[in-house]
């Protein structure tokens, strides 16, 4: 008989006095304390001397786009070894390219050795006692090992990562960690004042509440990250998720400014600003805390957004937490993929031969209602460069474009029934499939015997695609370096969609030229697509001092337009190559650059 595991509780440590901002940062500075002897030993490699720098690089470059760890209380000397190793391995990816070939190779070998030994130790520890994942640091370390193993090209351990994901999900299910009420019954205790006779929190009670919040929110963010990694990270190679979002019974993440508060006093001030009350006298004073039922879970939040009247508390929660908005967007993306997978198993309808009507009109309306609700929130945030969460909001903006694309241009690996054994292999297969029109052929071949077009859906996305292209190509290099790896993968997918649309539009234009010996009208879909996307591409490919509109765009002069038609694809491929060259941190860019070189006509210029 399996013993019942006790519920997860919040931090039982005795309260500590509140410290001032200056004293707090001095005490908790990640960079002012020495590293543990276990990490500083020369047995790991000479790179151990740089690990304090690697931790700093992690928080400067990776943390802004993925705030999984609680930076204000992250102390190097007190952080468990396995979590600290995961942080240093990822942080080392952002080291300046100042090494010779030998040093670069040595650093890669050091990363691989640390990752290999760390994930083995972590998996062994949890296999002996799966309750270990009740500790937030274990979940955080596990997730960081998965992220590195998936996206860092030198890891080469994709199958190991899939086993790690499987083991983690099994452990979460075994101990009921996915249900907040079971795993952490006192998860909302930090919202309430414990001393009802005191008109305000004293320093010790306040510190206890803050630490309770940190413990709870750390686990919440970890579980939402797990669902994201399961549903999205492996989708480029067309692996199906292992976990349903409906299994996650935790409230949406709380406002990010609470997570970033430097000390308990600032945290309390921000709590008051967000919710208007610093305390609630009983846990039942509000059924779902201060945010309403719409934030009770990821599934409920997604359902609410697809109605025409979502809760105002839900919209406020998404505006206050870009990570919560991100999780809802990725959940909707997973929902559309599920619809697509089912739709393409059904026979084509003679009355509706269009290969891109994945959802019914009613379903499309519901999804677009949710997209528009989030878009309104994102647009207010994503264009403010001084916003501390700028990268997170820009990520949401990109994922909105990707979600819209998936509604009319399904993933070709999914439609083709192709499942690859690694992220890079899946992206490479998608790149090669872009050369054809598998989506249309797979769905319409029995009905459309001759020329297959099928880019009607792209017409509705031209503004979104042009905007996405501008953002992807025009980001400043310092923001590109801090770009999360899944953002790079999604951006590459958007570029492939644009490339495919340009190829199909070019084919249709040439087909019209060969048939009628004249250019199509500029109002024809193929001309609209080609001119609009090429105009955006030319604008982003030119230098700051050379941004002059190409006169061949939108012209009906056959000779001039055909010259642009001949150059168009090559120019866009060069733009994709430039995109890859700027994204070398995780190895995704160099890998895709090599893949592009394999395609005829896209080799080195």
Cα distance between residue 255 and residue 323, in whole Å = 9
For residues 73-98, give the mean pLDDT: 90
pTM of the entire predicted model: 0.87
454: CB partners within 8 A, 6+ apart: 354, 355, 356, 437, 439, 440, 444, 504
pLDDT classification of 602: cutoffs 50, 70, 90:
low
Distant-in-sequence, close-in-space partners of 53: CB < 8 Å, separation ≥ 6: 91, 95
Q: CB of 358 within 8 A of CB of 429?
A: no
Query: Which percentage of the chain shows pLDDT scores above 90?
Result: 54
Structure confidence at residue 191 as a pLDDT band (50, 70, 90) = confident
Query: What integer pLDDT is reported at residue 286 of this predicted model?
Result: 40
Helix (H) or strand (E) holding 318: helix 312-320
Closest CA to 264 of 216, 211, 221, 317: 211
What secondary structure does DSSP assign to 462-511, as a single string?
HHHHHHHHHHHHH--HHHHHT--HHHHHHHHHHHHHHHHHHHHHHHHHHH
Tens digits of residue pLDDT in 403-446: 999 888 888 888 778 888 889 999 999 998 887 755 545 544 44
List of residues 6+ apart from 189 with CB closer than 8 A = 10, 209, 212, 283
CA angle 68, 72, 74 (to 5 degrees): 70
What is the mean pLDDT of the segment spanning 121-145? 96
User: How far is the C-alpha of 367 from the C-alpha of 461, rounded, in Å?
Assistant: 15
Say which residue, 13 or 74, is predicted with more confidence. 74
Contact 409, 458 (CB under 8 A): yes
Compute CA distances 330 → 168, 220, 393, 401, 409, whole Å. 20, 16, 14, 12, 17
Helix ranges, 179-202 (H): 180-183
What average pLDDT does the chain have? Answer: 82
């Amino acid at each position: 008989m399996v013993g019942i595991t006790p519920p997860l509780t919040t931090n039982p440590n005795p309260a500590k006095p509140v410290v001032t901002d200056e004293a707090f940062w001095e005490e908790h500075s990640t960079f002012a304390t020495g590293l543990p002897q276990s990490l500083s030993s020369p047995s790991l490699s000479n790179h151990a001397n740089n690990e304090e720098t690697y931790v700093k690089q992690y928080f400067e470059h990776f943390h802004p786009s993925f705030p999984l760890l609680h930076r204000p209380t992250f102390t190097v000397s007190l952080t468990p070894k396995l979590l600290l190793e995961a942080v240093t391995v990822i942080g080392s990816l952002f080291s300046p390219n100042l090494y010779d070939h030998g040093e670069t190779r040595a650093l890669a070998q050091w990363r691989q050795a640390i990752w290999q030994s760390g994930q083995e130790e972590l998996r062994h520890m949890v296999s002996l006692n799966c309750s270990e994942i009740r500790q937030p640091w274990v979940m955080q370390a596990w997730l960081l090992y998965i992220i590195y193993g998936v996206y860092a090209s030198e890891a080469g351990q994709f199958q190991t990562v899939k086993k790690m994901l499987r083991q983690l999900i099994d452990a979460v299910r075994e101990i009921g960690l996915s249900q907040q009420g079971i795993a952490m019954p006192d998860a909302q205790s930090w919202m309430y004042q414990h001393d009802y006779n005191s008109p305000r929190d004293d320093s010790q009670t306040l510190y206890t509440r803050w630490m309770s919040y940190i413990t709870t929110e750390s686990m919440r963010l970890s579980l939402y990250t797990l669902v994201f990694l399961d549903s999205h990270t492996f989708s480029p190679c067309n692996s199906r998720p292992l976990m349903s979002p409906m299994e996650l019974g935790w409230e949406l993440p709380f406002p990010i400014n609470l997570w970033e508060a430097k000390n308990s006093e600032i945290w309390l001030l921000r709590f008051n600003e967000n919710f208007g009350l610093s305390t609630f006298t009983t846990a039942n004073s509000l059924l779902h805390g201060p945010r309403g039922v719409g934030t009770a879970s990821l599934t409920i939040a997604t359902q609410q957004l697809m109605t025409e009247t979502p809760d105002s508390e839900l919209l406020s929660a998404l505006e206050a937490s870009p990570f919560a908005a991100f999780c809802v967007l990725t959940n909707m993306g997973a929902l559309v993929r599920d619809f697509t997978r089912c739709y393409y198993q059904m026979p084509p309808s003679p009355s509706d031969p269009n290969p891109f009507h994945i959802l019914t009109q009613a379903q499309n309306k519901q999804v677009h209602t949710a997209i528009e609700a989030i878009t309104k929130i994102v647009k207010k945030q994503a264009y403010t460069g001084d916003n501390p969460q700028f990268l997170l909001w820009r990520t949401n903006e990109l994922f909105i474009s990707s979600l819209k694309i998936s509604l009319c241009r399904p993933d070709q690996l999914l439609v083709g029934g192709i499942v690859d054994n690694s992220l890079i292999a899946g992206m490479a297969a998608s790149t090669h499939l872009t050369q054809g029109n598998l989506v249309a052929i797979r769905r319409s071949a029995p009905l459309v015997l001759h020329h297959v077009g099928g880019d009607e859906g792209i017409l509705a996305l031209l503004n979104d695609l042009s905007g996405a292209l501008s953002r992807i190509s025009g980001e400043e290099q310092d923001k590109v370096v801090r770009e999360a790896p899944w953002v790079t993968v999604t951006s590459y997918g958007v570029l492939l969609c644009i490339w495919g649309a340009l190829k199909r539009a070019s084919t249709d234009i040439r087909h019209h030229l060969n048939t009628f010996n004249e250019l199509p009208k500029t109002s024809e879909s193929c001309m609209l697509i080609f001119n609009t996307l090429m105009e955006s591409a030319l604008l982003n490919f030119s230098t700051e001092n050379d941004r002059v509109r190409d006169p061949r765009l939108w012209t009906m002069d056959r000779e001039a337009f055909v010259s642009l038609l001949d150059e168009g694809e090559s120019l866009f491929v060069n733009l994709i190559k430039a995109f890859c060259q700027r994204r070398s941190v995780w190895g995704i860019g160099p890998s895709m650059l090599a893949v592009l070189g394999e395609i005829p006509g896209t080799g080195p210029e």
